[in-house]
């Protein structure tokens, strides 16, 4: 083949690759944006319903983007080799590919979190997080510095420099300008990402215990405080392993002793209502259990102290017509339910203490439900009312697409 034809072909091929490259970038931007929305606790609060479809979009685009990557990669590698492009370009390609593959593999694992179990999901979520927080800025840098817009800006800057004869002595003024612009871009991205990375690392740096100062610590809002049982302090579980991600679909309710009440009503023979002091008189027990969120994170060996739900139900004397138990939160919005049979399981607890301390407000305190065998969307925070009902009730997240079957083990 003569040289002319060869180069023409290569150029055409390069053009095609460029288009594909562009579409990959578009898919990637959608994934990055939806991914950060899913990470945002603020979004969860402002627009909870949106989370469900944002997650669907994220997963679908994720799957769709596998295809162009598979088609595109071998061609790109070949193209770079034929044109004997700079080593730099090739190395960059492999870094980008590595990031994308790690995100995809961990993303697929997370999509099937239920099938692979909590341990594998936690690992997948960790990988997905790492490559989001470190990989996304890299890819952002990659796409900005390779865009037509950026290259033109570089060119313009260089021309200006030459006109002004600033860097005329330099051997390679283009290189200098370029390095400067690129370092600037890299720096700006790094600074922009810092709050996100900080947010992510905070619990791992031991900063999670610092309370938001606008929040009244519950230990000040209640008196007396529950005295932990010997099994709670020191916690028989040896202290929890892992970090909670604190979720709320509303503004966090400020529970105080004055507005605290705990009710059991509906289809019961003896409806009950306790104030704080009376509530503390109920017999508490201690249990160690794991806590699994359906989005992939878990906290292990949590020592909870509280009242077994079955004990509370027996105090209220459940009417034979009751088939389901509905749980209300003091936030006025969040609810969920169990069948009566599920509610009678031994480990279902109305918890007050975690690892020997009153449960914090953001963690659902002072009183939250714990259903260790099920995903934590069943574990209603700021629990203040239990209603016995005859018909099934669809909980907050279940209404918005979460499965009614919340068993962790399938
Ligand atoms: N009232 C209320 N309870 C709730 C939620 C919520 O948003 N509001 N989120 C649920 C979900 S999805 C999870 S994973 C756990 C999170 O508990 P944490 O915020 O203490 O980590 O609480 C569950 N109970
Ligand atoms: Mo969750």
Which tens digits make up the pLDDT trace of 366-386? 999 999 999 999 999 999 999
User: What does pTM read for this prediction?
Assistant: 0.84
Give the Cα-Cα-Cα angle 131, 372, 278 (nearest 5 degrees): 125
Name the 3-class secondary structure at 406. Answer: coil
Tokens of 17: 């690759």
CB of 293 shorter than 6 A to ligand 1: yes
Average pLDDT over the chain, rounded to an integer:
88
Give the Cα-Cα-Cα angle 19, 25, 30 (nearest 5 degrees): 135
Looking at residues 227-243, what average pLDDT do you find?
95
- Identify the residue with better confidence: 97 or 196: 97
Tokens of 198: 């900080």
pLDDT of 199 > 80? The answer is: no
Residue owning the nearest CA to atom 19 of ligand 1: 246
pLDDT of 190 > 90? The answer is: no
Return the best residue to mutate from 376, 385, 400, 408 for the ligand 1 pocket (most ligand atoms within 8 A of CB).
376
pLDDT of 210 > 50? The answer is: no
CB of 377 shorter than 6 A to ligand 1: yes
> DSSP character for 151?
H
CB of 24 shorter than 6 A to ligand 1: no
Return the best residue to mutate from 302, 333, 379, 401 for the ligand 1 pocket (most ligand atoms within 8 A of CB).
379
Residue 89: Cβ within 10 Å count: 13
Widest distance between CA atoms in the chain: 95
Among 124, 180, 181, smallest CA distance to 150 is for 181
CB of 334 shorter than 6 A to ligand 1: yes
What pLDDT shows up at residue 213?
A: 45
Q: For a pLDDT cut of 70, what percent of the chain falls above it?
A: 91
What pLDDT shows up at residue 166?
A: 56
The atom number, within ligand 1, closest to the CA of 383 reads 1
Order of strands, edge to edge, in the sheet holding 335-339?
A: 272-274, 262-266, 383-389, 324-329, 335-339
349 within 8 A of 307, measured Cβ to Cβ: yes
Which tens digits make up the pLDDT trace of 105-118? 999 999 999 899 99
Of the pLDDT bands very low, low, confident and very high (cuts 50, 70, 90), residue 316 is very high
Mean pLDDT is lowest, of 160-164, 322-326, 393-397, for 160-164
What pLDDT shows up at residue 291?
A: 97
Looking at residues 278-303, what average pLDDT do you find?
96
CB of 382 shorter than 6 A to ligand 1: yes
CB of 376 shorter than 6 A to ligand 1: yes
Which tens digits make up the pLDDT trace of 29-53? 899 999 989 988 888 888 888 988 9
Which tens digits make up the pLDDT trace of 46-104? 888 898 899 999 999 999 999 888 887 888 777 777 766 566 777 888 888 899 999 99
Of the pLDDT bands very low, low, confident and very high (cuts 50, 70, 90), residue 194 is confident
Residue owning the nearest CA to atom 14 of ligand 1: 293
Q: CA 253 to CA 404: how far, in whole Å? A: 26
Mean pLDDT is lowest, of 48-57, 281-290, 306-315, for 48-57
Which tens digits make up the pLDDT trace of 12-22? 877 877 788 78
Residue 192: Cβ within 10 Å count: 11
- Identify the residue with better confidence: 352 or 14: 352
- Residue 201 CA, ligand 1 centroid: distance in Å: 21
What pLDDT shows up at residue 192?
A: 80
pLDDT of 171 > 80? The answer is: no
Q: CA 273 to CA 265: how far, in whole Å? A: 8
Mean pLDDT is lowest, of 60-74, 92-106, 206-220, 281-295, for 206-220
Of the pLDDT bands very low, low, confident and very high (cuts 50, 70, 90), residue 182 is confident
> DSSP character for 210?
S
> DSSP character for 268?
B
What pLDDT shows up at residue 2?
A: 72
CB of 402 shorter than 6 A to ligand 1: no
> DSSP character for 104?
H
Looking at residues 361-368, what average pLDDT do you find?
96
pLDDT of 123 > 60? The answer is: yes
What pLDDT shows up at residue 325?
A: 98
Return the best residue to mutate from 40, 42, 247 for the ligand 1 pocket (most ligand atoms within 8 A of CB).
247
Mean pLDDT is lowest, of 1-5, 41-45, 119-123, for 1-5
pLDDT of 1 > 70? The answer is: no
Q: Which ligand is nearest to the CA of 299?
A: 1
Looking at residues 293-311, what average pLDDT do you find?
96
| Cα-to-chain-centroid distance, residue 325 | 29
Q: Which residues contact 35 (CB under 8 A, 6 or more apart)?
A: 58, 132, 136
Looking at residues 302-319, what average pLDDT do you find?
98
Residue 222: Cβ within 10 Å count: 20
Domains defined for the chain, CATH in brackets: 3-146 (1.20.950.20), 218-400 (3.90.420.10)
pLDDT of 397 > 90? The answer is: yes
């Amino acid at each position: 083949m003569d040289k002319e034809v060869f180069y023409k072909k290569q150029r055409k091929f390069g053009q095609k690759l460029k288009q594909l490259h562009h579409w990959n970038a578009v898919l990637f931007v959608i994934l990055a944006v939806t991914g950060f929305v899913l990470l945002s606790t603020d979004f969860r609060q402002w627009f909870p319903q949106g989370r469900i479809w944002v997650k669907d979009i994220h997963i679908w685009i994720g799957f769709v983007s596998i295809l162009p990557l598979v088609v595109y990669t071998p061609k790109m590698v070949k193209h770079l080799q034929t044109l004997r492009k700079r080593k730099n370009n090739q190395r960059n390609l492999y870094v980008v590919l590595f990031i994308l593959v790690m995100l995809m593999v961990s993303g697929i694992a997370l999509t099937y979190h239920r099938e692979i179990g909590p341990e594998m999901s936690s690992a997948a979520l960790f990988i997905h997080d790492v490559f989001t927080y470190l990989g996304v800025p890299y890819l952002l840098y990659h796409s900005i510095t390779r865009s037509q817009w950026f290259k033109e800006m570089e060119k313009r800057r260089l021309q200006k420099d030459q006109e002004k004869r600033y860097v005329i002595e330099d051997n390679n003024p283009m290189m200098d300008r370029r390095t400067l612009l690129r370092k600037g871009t890299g720096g700006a991205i790094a600074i922009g990402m810092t709050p996100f990375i900080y947010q992510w690392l905070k619990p791992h740096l031991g900063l999670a215990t610092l309370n938001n100062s606008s929040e009244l610590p519950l230990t000040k809002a209640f008196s007396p405080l529950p005295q932990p049982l010997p099994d709670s302090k020191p916690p028989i579980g040896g202290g929890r392993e892992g970090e909670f991600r604190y979720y709320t679909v509303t503004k966090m309710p400020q529970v105080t002793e004055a507005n605290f009440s705990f009710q059991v009503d509906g289809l019961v023979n003896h409806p009950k209502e306790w104030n704080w002091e009376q509530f503390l008189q109920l017999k508490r027990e201690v249990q160690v259990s794991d806590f699994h969120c359906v989005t992939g994170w878990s906290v292990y060996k949590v020592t909870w102290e509280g009242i077994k739900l079955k004990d509370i139900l027996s105090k209220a004397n459940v009417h034979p017509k009751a088939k389901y138990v509905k749980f209300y939160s003091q936030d006025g919005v969040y609810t969920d339910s169990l069948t009566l049979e599920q509610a009678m399981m031994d480990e279902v607890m109305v918890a007050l203490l975690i690892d020997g301390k009153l449960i914090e407000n953001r963690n659902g305190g002072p009183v939250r439900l714990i259903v260790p065998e099920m995903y934590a969307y069943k574990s209603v925070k700021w629990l203040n009312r239990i209603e016995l009902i005859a018909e099934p009730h669809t909980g907050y997240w279940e209404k918005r697409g979460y499965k009614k079957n919340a068993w962790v083990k399938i």
